[in-house]
Structure 1
């Protein structure tokens, strides 16, 4: 994690931000107005791939910030990429239309106001069921139940924004998405997940624990 980047890697990151800054208005128009959206996002990913093909960039709106978009740069918990994410954050230019964030952090009262809008909505409507828990690896297998109204959204990053990318990689083995049933008895609200995972990590599998997976 403390590995220093070489000059060539740093230059590649600087080139990415130079390109992004030069094309900021076009990127903003693609996100807000969907003008040449597919083409613009292709070039964003292409330029980010020069830094690393395993990094992800998420561009999103947050409630009550109509004229500003947020950019999350994440390594999805892969520690070998952390130096690149840190450098991307440290060298990011001041942008007119975007606010830059690095590393998806666990949800707390202090950062709840900058959650992506679709994540804030999903947290109120999405339920989960834990299918399995490995006490040796401390990892869970779960089902996420999504209401029909949210099926149009890409919820693949939902758990990352709730748990944080480090905790996601540490505790989540497998996630499956299913339609939300009419009867939600026995299901957990997804907002309860961080507390429940903390609870699981502190106990061993037993008859008491088994009831959560039945």
Structure 2
């Protein structure tokens, strides 16, 4: 009778301890557990027209449990069969710690590289589509100010329509030029203007902003 009671007690303690361990797992650990279980499916199908939407929805749902502002992107498969998975705060400074803590806890998985924030795009002619036309680095000029110990830029943009949608598109270009971290942490303010073509020779080409930001670090 005593032996049965003892066995039951041990079993209860083990179950309780296991339950407490599960409860004490951080949201970051739970995310990476989920990702690790599904990483092969994600790696092989993230570019599939049939499966991509569901994969993206699943990842978005899992990231939202950590921070509603988190977004992500994947690279194509690169040399050595590496696919990069970048997690971004979508330019929202308050969510930077969520990104940094999540990447710090990322596992080591074959064929994967995990990166914090949108990364620089390693070319000088990056462009994206906005409505009926493309916007690239060549369509944007800038001047800058360092007054009051703040670094700010005035962007002068061809065909600028003043919309939030166009600003979002240009933020993607800036992230590609500088990386999301530098855009948020090293630029204090941005003003937006429609380009006066007669003034362009008095302005800096946008591509020059990369070297300027780097020189100030």
Q: What is the TM-score with the length of structure 1 in the denominator?
A: 0.59
Match of 1:210 in 2: none
SS at match of 1:28: helix
Deviates more, 1:127-136 or 1:67-76: 127-136
1:88 matches 2:102: yes
Name the CA distance, whole Å, in 2 between partners of 1:8 and 1:75.
26
Q: Distance in 2 between matches of 1:176 and 1:164?
A: 22
- Between the aligned partners of 2:143 and 2:155, the Cα distance in structure 1 is 5
Aligned pair partner of 1:157 in 153, 172, 175: 172
Distance 2:57 2:156 in 1: 31
Distance 2:32 2:64 in 1: 13
Structure 1 segments unaligned to the other structure (5+ residues): 1-6, 108-114, 147-153, 202-214
CA offset at residue 10 of structure 1?
6.1
The alignment partner of 2:81 has SS state of coil
Q: 1:47 aligns with which of 43, 47, 62?
A: 62
Q: TM-score, normalised by structure 2?
A: 0.59
Partner of 2:85: 71
The structure richer in helix per residue is 2
Partner residue in 2 for 1:28: 43
Moved more, 37-46 or 79-88: 79-88
Residue 142 to residue 95, structure 1, CA distance change in 2 (3 Å):
same
| Per-residue CA distance 1:18-62 (angstroms, 9 max, x = gap) | 111111122223323334111111111111111101122221237
Unaligned runs of 5+ residues in structure 2 are 1-21, 128-135, 160-168
Q: Is contact 1:162–1:191 with CA below 8 Å preserved after alignment?
A: yes
**1:206 matched residue in structure 2:** none
Is 1:141 the counterpart of 2:154 in the alignment? yes
Higher gyration radius (CA): 2
Aligned mates of 1:94, 1:177 — CA distance in 2: 46
| Corresponding position of 1:120 | 123
- The residue number in structure 2 matching 1:173 is 190
**Matched residue of 1:120: which SS?**
coil
Tell me how far 1:194 sits from its aligned partner: 2.3
- Aligned pair count reads 172
Rounded Cα–Cα distance in structure 1 between residues aligned with 2:98 and 2:88: 10
